[in-house]
Chains A and B, each alone.
Chain A
């Protein structure tokens, strides 16, 4: 899990 990469789901 890499939250810094951002969330790509809606």
Chain B
């Protein structure tokens, strides 16, 4: 495992824990898209079914379990424990527009036509667009709390570092997985506009608000 991959995983973990802590400490999930969080829970579940079939390393297994556990906890906080604070009126992205096309694509473009492999492929495609309900929510309300911005930034950094990891692996190991790379590129591009706002506003101490 190279440094990019490891830092990418840590950044992903940081994002997930940051969101959990934010909701828990503030006792509120205002400004957070429950739909994006449900999509991420679906992504982890579909991808990590190989926990039962394929052992890779203790690190790999632990991270997968933590990601899944945190992800489901977040969904539970939003839709049950702090349901009263959930901003459903602004969380109006139609997730079927993401789930249906990515599911169809997973059936058409995959490495191997087996149930686990199709689910893995579906999770890769779905992850690349799963943040859209959250970004849509931010654009609809015109702003995001600073901690939400940090969450989105860490999440964007994660896939960006994975791109460097894939360049590294291609160069030194001759390894490449085109499905993951293309989806990862799409995912990273979706964050670019946000990266710009984050660097020009949030890092200068301002709250992230979009021009009217």
Interface, chain A (partner B; CB < 8 A): 1, 3-4, 6-10
Contacts and interface: CB of A to CB of B under 8 A. Distances in A.
A8 B9 CA distance: 12
Given A9-B5, A9-B180, A10-B12, A4 B63 contact: no
A1 B176 CA distance: 6
Nearest to A1: B177
27 contacts: A1-B111, A1-B176, A1-B177, A1-B178, A3-B111, A3-B112, A3-B117, A4-B112, A6-B50, A6-B54, A6-B56, A7-B47, A7-B50, A7-B120, A7-B177, A8-B56, A8-B60, A9-B5, A9-B162, A9-B165, A9-B180, A10-B9, A10-B12, A10-B60, A10-B63, A10-B64, A10-B67
Interface string B44-71: 0001001000101000100110010000
Contacts of A7: 47, 50, 120, 177
Contacts of A8: 56, 60
